[in-house]
Amino acid sequence: MTIAPDQREVVAFLGSGAAFPGGGPVERVDTHGAHVFLSGDVALKLKRAVTYDYMDLGSPDQRRRMLERELELNAPAAPSIYRDVLPVTQGPAGPELGGAGAAVDWVLRMNRFPAKDELEAVAARGALDGRLAAQIGRMVRAYHAACPVRRADGGQLIRAILDELGRVFAEFPAAPGTEQVADWAAACRAALGRTTPLLTARGASGHVRRGHGDLHLRNIVLIGGRPVPFDALEFDETLGTCDVLYDFAFLLMDLGHRELHEAASSALAEYLLAARGSEDAGLPAMPLFLSVRAAIRAMVLLQTDRARDVPRASAAEIARYLGQAVAALRPAPAQLIAVGGVSGTGKTALARALAPGLGLPPGAVHLSTDAERKAAAGLAASQHLPDAAYAAAAREGVYDALFARTRVLLDSGYSVVLDGTFLNAAKRNEAARLGAAAGVPFAGLWLTAPMPVLEARIAARRGDASDADIAVLHRQLAGDHGAKGWEPVDASGSPDEVAKAARAALVRNFAREAPIRLP
């Protein structure tokens, strides 16, 4: 990558190892806006002396300000990564780091982390499982809760992005991979027209914040086993200001693009749970947000290929992103599915397996009585509640909260998979009435398994949201007389076998009700 003439001496100095403890070998990584130097446990980021239509780094002072803003944005969420901004000074024998001479440029000093711990690498090796996806969802929600509110019109923010996308795509007429641009643009404008009142209202009520702006898998790293966001967008406050669901949509789109649909579904469910329902009503905008994020990735690839003078290199990937952008806006009817049965039947595992691919992307929202109960008490899933939390009145309150969220989600156009024992016939009937009231098909699945299987599963639980032990199971079995009208499912097999049997049961059920698209 070309180095600006006025930075060549600084780049040579940073690459020599003299700026690092021990002076060891240095690895350099170049991006469109920075040179990053890596040696030992230290990383030094030097902003490149470049000027784009969206980012001006032409002078040392402008580069310093951008580095200071980057530190300000990222240090609160990633204190173990971000350290300080240091001057590169002119010394008697050449550049020095933090010397007494005049500053000729500036670097951001960070603690280095292994590339294998970036979530992009974790996903590539197949290690981004449902448990980690749930952690990610909770992390993003906590991150957003700490972001400052900006009173901006959410509809105008998205309209400006669509205008910019339209301008850039027009610079690449008939470029390979862009065959769906016109269809996407028409569908996106129509979706914006439908959701503008919602987006405007969300901006007025605190859902637009100064967020991350670039929240995809490459910008999240595992530190001490926890997902930590870094490299928030610092060069444009307008682009970094957005609806929190639009911020989150970049990550969900990225997971979907990598075919990690169950992870995307789990991350969304945990985010919404951590938000305690406050974001549920914003979901009608999620398909638009996912679509715009995918189109942005296509646009960036077009621009990158042109900058590298390889105009066809990413044509297949560009087409994939635009196909994803179009697919996100296709109508998909909502459904309501309830999964019931005594403890140990595997309700939660089945609900998580069914949710991806149901209805609008990234799939149905999974709501669990166990998770709702712990969240309401402010506890982690693995923390135990006292017996009083399972008294009749408390159980009633949990189902009421679950059903209230279900109404909002169904009204938002999203499918829902409910997960609870549903031992009370009145609650089973109420779940069915929810579907009828929302005008969506309903199916109830009743899981069963032999007692030895149930006992073994309960004994093997670790870090589960359920507090039920074997004594609770025995009490449940004493009063379990099945669920009339719900589809029975043998849950004694492997998770894959149970999911296959459940899908067959759903086909039977919906054949009597209305069509359903199953994952």
CA 138, CA 517: separation in Å to the nearest integer? 29
CA 448, CA 487: separation in Å to the nearest integer? 11
Contact (CB, 8 A) for 252 and 272: no
Contact (CB, 8 A) for 208 and 187: no
Please name every residue paired with 96 in a beta bridge, in sequence order, or none if there are none. Answer: 89
Contacts of residue 373, defined as CB under 8 A and 6 or more positions apart, other chains included, come to 385, 389, 394, 398, 465
Which segments within 81-214 are labelled E, that is strand?
Answer: 82-91, 94-97, 103-111, 208-210
Q: Taking the model in full, what pTM does it have?
A: 0.93
The whole-number pLDDT of residue 358 equals 94
pLDDT digits (tens, 9 = 90+) for 89-145: 999 989 999 999 999 999 999 999 999 999 999 999 999 999 999 999 999 999 999
The whole-number pLDDT of residue 164 equals 94
Whether the CA torsion 114, 117, 122, 125 is positive or negative: it is: positive
| Residue entry with tokens 């979901």 | 283
Tokens of 10: 């600084």
Q: How many other C-beta atoms are found inside a 10 Å radius of the C-beta of residue 472?
A: 18
Contact (CB, 8 A) for 321 and 257: yes
CA 17 to chain centre: 38
Contact (CB, 8 A) for 66 and 46: no
What are the structural domains, with CATH classification, of the chain? 5-112 (3.30.200), 119-327 (3.90.1200.10), 336-513 (3.40.50.300)
Tokens of 159: 């309209």
| One-letter amino acid for residue 319 of the chain | A
CA 216 to chain centre: 8
CA 292 to chain centre: 15
Tokens of 50: 């470049």
The whole-number pLDDT of residue 516 equals 45
The whole-number pLDDT of residue 1 equals 60
The whole-number pLDDT of residue 389 equals 74
Tokens of 30: 């170049």
CA 14, CA 89: separation in Å to the nearest integer? 12
How does 266-291 read in b/e, with b if 16+ C-beta sit within 10 Å? bbbbbbbbbbebebbbbbbbbbbbbb
The whole-number pLDDT of residue 390 equals 80
Q: How many other C-beta atoms are found inside a 10 Å radius of the C-beta of residue 25?
A: 11
Contact (CB, 8 A) for 122 and 225: no
Burial class of residue 193, CB neighbours in 10 A (0-12, 13-18, 19+): exposed
Ranges of residues in the chain whose predicted pLDDT is under 70: 1, 480, 512-519
First to last CA, the chain: 44
CA-wise closest residue to 144 among 233, 236, 247: 247
Residue 239 DSSP SS3: helix
CA-wise closest residue to 250 among 119, 159, 371: 119
Phi/psi at 246 (5° precision) = -70, -40
